[in-house]
């Protein structure tokens, strides 16, 4: 970038999560003028020194207004809205400051279970199983209506299961990793042969950045995922191989798991229990030549290394106990 080049100004609502922090780093690497607004409570992911960090709780309108002052931005990227009321608040706080509003939705909003694969952006949005997904759909509907009525350029981005070294994309997350490491059996939904798409956050970020400040993305929805769809069995065995352990896979019907813990119904029957394979042609139309290059084998090694370096046992005791109960009652 030359001294006379214009630096795109981008405000991230969020910026410290798995996906958003990777996008912040990529935006800085692209030479953008990057600001982040969050509560400042997440310490696990450092941001580049070039980032202008503003602290405020997005639920506090006065605090947000004070933190942002009179600043305007070419792009506002909203990683913090999960309900239409969140979107309304963010639009009131930042819509008037934005040349483009980018909303982070979810690929779980797509028809579940899908009638056909691969999923494209024209796949219907319908998920009867999960409130999280239905709320994301309602957010999208609100934003498209706002775009039509006001003309504010809106872009919708739908990540699928996106991870980094701090967030294993296994059913059970860190609890599953800890069970693998200590030789305990791990729960695999169904027979383990359904296909699941996992995407490393840095790959997502490389396709996300070309959407920012791009007039061709106005009014559009696009998902960004890996082209690597992996059976659940292979996800667990790949993680075990990275850790140098022998996995003990126990297959349990998704309905049985959800009957034992109804709180898992949305994320399992509304998402992980179904094969999800994506066509990323639209993402590549905005980012020519882009492809996700981090295989899960590489990602698994990074997860194992990160755990060893941090020497912290992570997991959910309640899910750990659920695994033990279900395994104990198998014939």
pLDDT digits (tens, 9 = 90+) for 93-129: 999 999 999 999 999 999 999 999 999 999 999 999 9
Indicate whether 4 pLDDT > 50: no
| Cα–Cα nearest to 312, from 179, 200, 178 | 178
Q: Please return the burial class of 317, using the count of CB atoms within 10 Å of its CB with bins 0-12, 13-18 and 19+.
A: exposed
Q: Per-residue pLDDT for 216 more than 90?
A: yes
Q: What percent of the chain has pLDDT over 70?
A: 97
What value does the mean pLDDT take over residues 54-78? Answer: 95
Strand order of the β-sheet with 101-104 is: 52-55, 33-38, 9-13, 75-78, 101-104, 154-159, 221-224
Note the pLDDT of residue 3.
Answer: 44
The separation between CA 32 and the C-alpha centre of its own chain, rounded to angstroms, equals 22
Cβ atoms 182, 265 nearer than 8 A: no
Distance between CA 221 and CA 242 in Å, rounded?
Answer: 35
**According to DSSP H, which parts of the chain are helical?**
18-29, 61-68, 84-94, 131-150, 173-181, 201-208, 232-243, 254-260, 265-267, 281-286, 296-310, 317-328
Separation of alpha carbons 159 and 144, rounded Å: 18
Tell me, what's the pLDDT at 46?
Answer: 82
Compute the average pLDDT of residues 314-319: 92
State the Cα–Cα distance between residues 16 and 23, nearest whole angstrom. 10
pLDDT at 44 over 70: no
- Tell me the C-alpha distance between 256 and 130, whole Å: 17
Rounded Cα distance, 237 and 247, in Å: 6
226-270 pLDDT per residue, tens: 999 999 999 999 999 999 999 999 999 999 999 999 999 999 999
Q: For the residues 200-219, what does the mean pLDDT come to?
A: 98
pLDDT in tens, 175-190: 999 999 999 999 999 9
Work out the pLDDT band at 312, boundaries 50, 70, 90: confident
pLDDT confidence tier of residue 329, bands split at 50, 70 and 90: confident
Tell me: cis bond preceding 215? Omega within 30 of 0 counts: no
pLDDT at 8: 97
For position 6, what pLDDT does the model report? 78
Q: pLDDT tens digits for 129-170?
A: 999 999 999 999 999 999 999 999 999 999 999 999 999 999
- The pLDDT of residue 5 is 65
Distance of alpha carbon 128 from alpha carbon 122, whole angstroms: 18
Strands 249-252 and 221-224: unpaired
The pLDDT value given to residue 122 = 97
Query: What are φ and ψ of residue 192, in 5° steps?
Result: 80, 5
The secondary structure of residue 34, as a DSSP letter, is: E
State the Rg of the chain over Cα: 20
Long-range CB contacts (< 8 A, 24+ apart) of 325-329?
Answer: 325/260, 326/187, 326/250, 326/252, 326/256, 326/257, 326/260, 327/185, 327/187, 327/250
Widest pairwise Cα distance in the chain: 71
**Residue 74 contacts residue 49 (beta carbons within 8 Å):** no
What pLDDT does residue 41 have? 66
Query: How does residue 221 score in pLDDT terms, banded at 50, 70 and 90?
Result: very high
pLDDT tops 50 at residue 1: no
Among 93, 48, 51, CA closest to 68: 93
- Distances in Å between the alpha carbon of 14 and those of 19, 226, 229, 256? 10, 23, 28, 36
């Amino acid at each position: 970038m030359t001294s006379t080049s214009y630096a795109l100004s981008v405000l991230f609502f969020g910026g410290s999560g798995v996906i958003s922090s990777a996008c912040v780093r990529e935006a800085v690497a692209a030479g953008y003028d990057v600001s982040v607004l969050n509560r400042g409570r997440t310490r696990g992911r450092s941001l580049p020194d070039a980032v202008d960090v503003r602290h405020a709780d997005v639920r506090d309108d006065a605090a947000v207004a004070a933190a942002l002052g009179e600043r305007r931005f070419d792009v506002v990227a909203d990683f913090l809205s999960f309900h239409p009321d969140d979107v309304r608040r963010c639009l009131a706080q930042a819509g008037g400051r934005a040349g483009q509003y980018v909303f982070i939705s979810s690929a779980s909003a797509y028809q579940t279970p899908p009638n056909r694969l691969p999923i494209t952006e024209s796949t219907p949005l319908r998920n009867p199983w999960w409130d999280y997904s239905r709320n994301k759909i309602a957010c999208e509907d609100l934003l498209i209506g706002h775009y039509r009525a006001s003309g504010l350029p809106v872009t919708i981005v739908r990540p699928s299961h996106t991870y980094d070294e701090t967030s294993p994309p296994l059913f059970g997350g860190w609890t599953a990793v800890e069970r693998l490491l200590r030789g305990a059996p791990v729960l695999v939904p169904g027979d383990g042969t359904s296909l699941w798409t996992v995407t490393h956050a840095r790959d997502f970020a490389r396709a996300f950045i070309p959407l920012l400040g791009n007039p061709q993305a106005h009014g559009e929805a696009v998902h960004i995922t890996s082209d690597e769809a992996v059976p659940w069995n292979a996800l667990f065995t790949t993680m075990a191989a990275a850790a140098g352990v022998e996995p003990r896979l126990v297959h349990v019907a998704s309905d049985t798991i959800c009957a034992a813990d109804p709180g898992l119904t949305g994320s399992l029957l509304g998402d992980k229990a179904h094969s999800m394979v994506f066509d990323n042609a639209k993402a590549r139309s905005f980012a020519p030549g882009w492809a996700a290059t981090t295989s899960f084998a590489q990602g698994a090694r990074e997860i194992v290394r990160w755990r060893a370096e941090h020497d912290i046992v992570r997991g959910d005791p309640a899910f750990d106990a659920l695994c033990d109960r279900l395994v104990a009652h198998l014939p």
